[in-house]
Amino acid sequence: MAGDDEKDKVAVPPRPAGGRKLDRRDVLKGLSTVPALGLFGYAWQKQRQYEQAAAGTEQAAAAGDVQDVHVALLGAGAQGQVLTDAMLRIPGVRFRAVCDVWAEYNQRRVVNQLQRFGFQVNAYEDYREMLDKEKELDAVVIATPDFWHAPHAVDCLKAGKHVYCEKEMSNTLEGARAMVAAARETGKLLQIGHQRRSNPRYLHCYRHLLGEAKLLGRIVTVSGQWNRAVTPDLGAPERYTIPEARLKQYGFKNMHQFRNWRWYKGLGGGPIVDLGSHQIDIYTWFLGANPSHVMASGGQLYYDPATHEWYDTAMVVFDYDTPAGPVKAYYQTQTTNGSLGYFENFMGDQGTLLISESEVHAAKVYRDTNAPPWDEWVQKGYITAPKLQEAVEKDKAAVTDVRESVSPDEHKVPIVLKDPYHQPHLQNFFDAVRGSATLNCPPEIGYESAVAVLKVNDAIEAKSRLSFTPEDFAL
């Protein structure tokens, strides 16, 4: 602090050469800003009390006296991280272990994070070793690549653990069937990660708008999409490259395959399985029937086919024989343009429901002019009061063309999910583990969904319309 000497002269009287004694004035000046620190401490204390009180009431309201569930994460990649973040918000989840073959990177990241939250978790590369050693575990949450789901889930169930397993349930129907069988045999719970099944917005629309109010009338057509912009292949920092022997041991040819497994046959199912499975599951759920036929067109239109073995684009039409009558349902996914994102759109003779997990679309219903009034449902708070379509206003000046249908009123569905998307589905799983709920997506549902989705790739390959038989869905 040599430079201070000169400035010193500013405020303090010039000091006699050779230093001087501390006087009262020095001490007072020296301590003059200490009270500010005290004030800070006081304000911070108050702030903490306030935050703790807020958090306390929230947790108490959410949980009461919850029973702990001891959990391991199997697969700590992108989705493993998302699930971990959501689970950290759920009372009573006690992390015990993390298993991931990428010990250098993903495993370490999640272990570090959990330690920061005060969980002393053990880290494993081999899930069998984890199952051998972690006797206290109640449940395993699986977010490994699709082709590992069946072996992982079956072995965890057989080791007596409840399992939450990401979609797609399996990349093969044999795998999915083995999972159903293991769950039935062991009597343990198996929740498949179609998280929209627990999303309050979807539940509200299913129960109240479609079930109770029947706002859409007779649903005749459905459309939906997941459009995703071009994304570069995933890479990995050089120094975290996994040794080849370990890659082979876990079924990957090289790092590119390890990181981009979704695009490879035998490991994943391409965009239709990765993205479409979520939404085709909603078709089935909302229509109350499994599809009877599927025709599809798709191809490797854009990406390097050597490293993208599955179709980057798929356009699909399903036929459904629903209890209310036949339905045609279109679905498309493409990975070269993200416009309009993702949503599902159900169209009946009285109205339309546009719904999405994303807040961009959220959920809206459109009332067709020939529908009975919806005032009752607005009053009940199921939907908001209508917003008149702008097109109607603008067109006033123009001569009305009788061939054009009048634009329907738009009502919003006032249900907003403030938590992470996956939290309600995980919460439902943990509630079921504690015996206070039933699963929203048991393996039987996951299986039916897998049958419908996996057949799309067959239909694209066969270039013809394929039919489903009731036996296809039977277990």
Ligand X SMILES: NC(=O)c1ccc[n+]([C@@H]2O[C@H](COP(=O)([O-])OP(=O)(O)OC[C@H]3O[C@@H](n4cnc5c(N)ncnc54)[C@H](O)[C@@H]3O)[C@@H](O)[C@H]2O)c1
Residue 54 binds which entry of ligand X, another protein, none, CB below 5-8 Å type-dependent: none
If one asks whether residue 7 binds another protein (CB under 8 A), the answer comes out as yes
Residue 220: CB atoms within 10 Å: 17
Which residue's structure tokens are 């379509």? 389
Element (H, E) at 39: helix 34-63
Side-by-side strand order, sheet with 313-322: 409-412, 363-367, 351-355, 342-348, 219-227, 325-334, 313-322, 291-299, 466-467
Q: Please list every residue from 362 through 421 that binds another protein, using CB under 8 A.
A: none
Three-state DSSP class for residue 154? helix
Interface with another protein (CB under 8 A), residue from 82, 85, 336, 384? 85
With CB under 8 A as the contact rule, the residue among 14, 33, 174, 402 that binds another protein is 33
HSE at residue 166, side-chain half, CA atoms within 13 A, is 26
- Give the footprint of ligand X on this chain (CB under 6 A): 74-80, 99-102, 106, 127, 143-146, 148, 166-168, 193, 195, 250, 274
The region of 23-31, 66-74, 123-131, 324-332 touching another protein under the rule CB under 8 A is 23-31
Contact 255, 233 (CB under 8 A): no
Nearest by Cα to 347 from 363, 362, 327: 327
User: What's the token pair of residue 172?
Assistant: 């093969």
Write down the least CB distance from residue 431 to another protein, Å: 23
Residue 187 binding: pick among ligand X, another protein, none (C-beta 5-8 Å cut-off by kind): none
6 binds, options another protein, ligand X, none, Cβ within 5 to 8 A by partner type: another protein
User: Please, what is the minimum distance in Å from the beta carbon of residue 300 to ligand X?
Assistant: 20
Work out what residue 4 binds among another protein, ligand X, none; the CB cut-off runs from 5 to 8 Å by kind: another protein
Gap between the Cα atoms of 157 and 442, Å rounded:
14
Q: Are strands 409-412 and 325-334 parallel, antiparallel or unpaired?
A: unpaired
| CA geometry: angle 296, 363, 328, nearest 5 deg | 25
Largest CA distance in the chain: 102
Q: Output 117 or 414, the one with its CB closest to another protein.
A: 117
How many residues touch another protein (CB under 8 A)? 40
Chosen residue from 13, 34, 61, 174 binding another protein by CB under 8 A = 34
Q: Smaller CB distance to ligand X: residue 320 or 429?
A: 429
| Nearer Cβ to another protein (238/471) | 238
Question: For 2, phi and psi rounded to 5 degrees?
Answer: -60, -40
Which is nearer to ligand X, 277 or 350 (by Cβ)? 277
The sign one gets for the Cα dihedral 102, 336, 166, 183 is negative
Question: Per CB under 8 A, which of residues 114..143 are in contact with another protein?
Answer: 116-118
The answer to whether 232 contacts another protein (rule: CB under 8 A) is no
Question: For another protein, which is the closer residue by CB, 9 or 218?
Answer: 9
Which residues make up the interface to another protein (CB under 8 A)?
A: 1, 3-4, 6-12, 15, 18-22, 26-27, 29-34, 36-37, 40, 44, 48, 85, 88, 105, 108-109, 112-113, 116-118, 237
